[in-house]
Structure 1
Amino acid sequence: MTPKSGVLLAGACIAGIAAIGSIFELTSGTPDLGTVPTTIILVTTLPLGVVCFFAAVRDARANQQ
């Protein structure tokens, strides 16, 4: 694993946590930040997490020995 893939994987984890938190907030009925900001966070972090994860996997595979 390279430092780049580690950073990308950490970004994917943080984005995943934010997305799951947003889902829980939205399903609770009254999100702390409001519905619109929480939805924006969800819509932003969900694809960001997927992209970061696949980029980390691609980088790790490219640098295997």
Structure 2
Amino acid sequence: MTPKSGVLLLGSCVSAIAGVGSVFELSSGTPELGQMTTSLILALSIPLTAWLFWVAVQDTRANMK
């Protein structure tokens, strides 16, 4: 693993945690940041998590050769 892929993987983990937190906030009924902001965080964190993970894996594979 390179430092770049490590940082990308860290970003993926943080984004996934934000998404899970948003789901719990929305299911509570009254999110602290408001319905719209929490929904926006959730909507952005799902594709961001997948993209960061994919880029981290691609970077690691490229540097293994």
Instruction: Please report the TM-score for the alignment, with normalisation by the length of structure 1.
Output: 0.96
SS in 2 for 1:63: helix
> Which residue in 1 is equivalent to 2:15?
15
Instruction: Please report the TM-score for the alignment, with normalisation by the length of structure 2.
Output: 0.96
5+ residue gaps, structure 2, are none
In the TM superposition, 1:1-65 aligns within 5 A as 1-65=1-65
Matched residue type, 1:36: M
Matched residue type, 1:34: G
Identity %: 55
Q: Distance in 2 between matches of 1:59 and 1:43?
A: 25
Q: Distance in 2 between matches of 1:58 and 1:12?
A: 14
5+ residue gaps, structure 1, are none
Q: Runs (4+) of structure 1 moved beyond 2 Å?
A: none
- C-alpha root-mean-square deviation of aligned residues, in Å? 0.7
Q: How many residues align?
A: 65
Q: Distance in 1 between matches of 2:53 and 2:27?
A: 26
